[in-house]
Amino acid sequence: MLRNNRRVLTIFWSIIAVTFLCIIVNLPAKFNLFGRTFYRPDFSLNLGSSKIKPNLDLRYGLDLAGGASLLFEVDTSQRKKEDLPQALESLKLNIERRVNLFGVSESNVQMANQGDKYRLNVDLPGVTDINEAVKLIGQTAQLKFMGVINDQLFIEATTSAELLKSVKDTGLDGSHLVKSEPSPNPNTGVMEVSLKFNPEGSKLFEKATTDFQNKKLAILLDGVVKTAPMVNEIIIGGEAVINGDFDIKSAKALSAQLNAGALPLPIKLIQQSQVGASLGQDSIERGVKAGLVGLGLVFLFMIGNYGFLGLIADFSLIIFGLVTLTLYRLIPVTLTFPGIVGFILSVGMAVDSNILIFERMKEELRAGKSWNNAMELGFGRAWNSIKDANTCTIITGLILFNPFNWSFLNSSGMVRGFAVTLLLGIILGMFTGVFVTRNLLRVLARKKQ
């Protein structure tokens, strides 16, 4: 064994170093100790001109952080198959733009297909008024024509409230627009964007151009000003052109946006769920408390059963916990309550490797082997069982996680949140239970001979 001494020591100190690094990563961003305030280092990295600054905060899912989640079904019956991918993509972009109006950070819009049906899932962390969310996101038309009544304020407006004060609704909206096209002016050849309204829209447009002649008429898409052309004359008949500094590209883009004012595909709300933040906070606290109590029991059980060996196993379990939490921060893993349960369960499974090994060691000791021999044999022989048994759990974990998004398997956030922490836990648990415990024992138990 002596020939390996230096290698073992190197591994031992590396384990200690990694553990300390993990402790630092898991410190609160700011904390008080002995009357002094400490800050967690932010691990920012300078690579040439770009700066990498990892976000080390734990991320919580909707069920813990509170928030709203909406699931829409997309009606694709009106579309030809070949147009569908493009229509779905622009639907998603459209919804994302509406979600951004909410100003929620880390909102998430996802398209999922279920056979030939398409679903759109919208997660809004921190949003407590689900009714408002449904109204804003599920609306079908968001294109508005507004007359500018206060030009100064209109130009300087930075918030939507200020903006809305500077304009007056003309009653004209996306539902009145029949078509918008980019077209070159027949006389000058300069690009323009044409507008064509339906009969009702034509009347409203005539009134708007009368009211705001020689003023600006702002076109707002989801509350954002797309263009504000000057009204040069009263327009009767519902056909108009917007001229400005357009080239072919910008004219096309504007008319596309105007046409898309209405959602490209109709959507129907099929599921809404909402969790208040207080309930989530309560779940976290209870989960942590339960985890600590359970962990305490496991620690005592291991020491009671295996004495010194159990103590070492407890140490590698602590290392397991620290490394797992660090990975949650780095990957990052979004923690949900089932995720926490997955973590707690994987703690139980991580101990299993050690129990297998220690029982094996006991057997070898009973057979009259020396302590060091029994230890190395215990680890060697138990490894087969550990590997096979954990592979089985990994297989089911992968089926739960559904990495390829197979539509016949579950892909809900709850089940995935559980699968991801369970999988990480099992893989790491095998590593700490075998590699870490073994090397800790090699160094710390050597003198027991």
Partner 1 sequence: MNIMKFRPLFLVISSLLILTSIFSIIFWGFQWSVDFSGGTSWQISLPSKPEINVIKQLLTDNGLELTNYSINQDQYFLKFSNITSDKKELITNSLKKIDPKFVDLEFETLGPILGRELMIKTVWAIILSSISLLLFIGSRFKDLSFGASAVLAMLHDALILIGSFSILGHFFGAEVDALFVTALLTTLSASVHDTVVTFDRIRELKSFTFRLDWVELANKAVSEVIVRSINNSMTIIFMLLALVVLGGDSTRWFAAALLIGVVCGTYSSTAVAIPLMLLTKRKKSDNVKK
Query: In the complex, which residues of this chain contact partner 1 (CB under 8 A)?
Result: 63, 71, 114, 128, 130-131, 134-135, 269-276, 278-279, 282-283, 286-287, 289-291, 293-295, 297-298, 301-302, 305, 337-338, 341, 344-345, 347-349, 351-352, 355-356, 359, 363, 381, 384-385, 388-393, 395-397, 399-400, 408-410, 412, 414-415, 418-419, 422
Q: How far apart are CA 203 and CA 91, in angstroms?
A: 30
User: What is the rounded CA–CA span in Å between residue 179 and residue 147?
Assistant: 21
- Tokens representing residue 211 in the block: 């009211």
Tokens read off for 387: 């590997």
User: Token pair for residue 408?
Assistant: 């016949």
Cα 387 from Cα 50, distance rounded (Å): 42
DSSP state of 433: I
Measured from the CB of residue 387, what is the shortest distance to partner 1 in angstroms?
9
Would you list the DSSP string of 12-51?
HHHHHHHHHHHHHHTS-SEEEETTEEEE-----EEETTEE
| Contact residues for 214 (Cβ-Cβ < 8 A; gap 6+) | 230, 231, 232
Classify 368 as helix, strand or coil. Answer: coil
Cα separation of 87 and 139, whole Å?
17
Q: Of 84, 185, 62, 235, whose CA–CA distance to 133 is shortest?
A: 62
Distance CA 2, CA 351 (A): 29
Residues in the chain, how many?
449
Tell the smallest beta-carbon distance from residue 260 to partner 1 (Å). Answer: 24
Residue type, 358: F
Burial (CB < 10 A; 0-12, 13-18, 19+), residue 274, is: middle
Instruction: List helix spans (H) across 331-370.
Output: 337-366
